[in-house]
């Protein structure tokens, strides 16, 4: 006769204690994306019709470069977390889930690195 309760059998097999962290990080990045996205829309609208030199100068200014970098980091973090939730919910095989999570992380890193490089190149161009 087994005297163990279901709770005893489930100990250390439950939550990884990261669910609320992901929830809040996704909400924080969503709010940051909202404000930074509105700034980028305003920046693009203000540069409509400007020539190449004016756009290059505006995008190369430190304030614009920093805000664009913040948007890139926030958006790629938000994208990675959102896709991670989708993969964890809908991919059933353990091997496929691990592959998709790794691919998701590497994709987000590549997108962020390429975007950061482009902004830094514009910002530090002579």
CATH of domain 20-124: 1.20.1300.10
Q: Check residue 18 and give its pLDDT.
A: 66
Q: Quick one: which of 108, 61, 50 has its CA closest to 83? A: 108
Whether pTM exceeds 0.85: no
Instruction: List, in order, residues 6 or more apart from 59 with CB less than 8 Å away.
Output: 65, 68, 119, 122, 123
pLDDT interval class at 16 (50, 70, 90) = low
Q: Check residue 125 and give its pLDDT.
A: 79
SS (H, E, C) 10-27: HCCCCCCCCHHHHHHHHH
Q: Check residue 14 and give its pLDDT.
A: 53
Average pLDDT value for the chain: 89
Q: Check residue 37 and give its pLDDT.
A: 97
- Span 37-49, pLDDT tens digits: 999 999 999 999 9
Q: Is 68 exposed, middle or buried (0-12, 13-18, 19+ CB in 10 A)?
A: buried
Span 76-87, average pLDDT? 96
């Amino acid at each position: 006769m087994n005297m163990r309760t279901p709770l005893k059998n489930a100990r250390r097999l439950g939550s990884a204690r990261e669910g609320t962290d992901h929830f809040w990080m996704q909400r924080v990045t969503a709010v940051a994306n909202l404000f930074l996205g509105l700034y980028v829309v305003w920046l693009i609208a203000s540069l409509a019709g400007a020539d190449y030199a004016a756009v290059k100068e505006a995008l190369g200014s430190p304030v614009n470069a920093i805000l664009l970098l913040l948007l890139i980091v926030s958006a790629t973090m938000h994208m990675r977390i959102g896709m991670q939730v989708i993969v964890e919910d809908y991919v059933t095989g353990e091997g496929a889930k691990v592959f998709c999570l790794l691919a998701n992380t590497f994709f987000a890193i590549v997108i962020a690195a390429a975007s950061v490089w482009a902004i830094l190149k514009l910002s530090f161009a002579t």
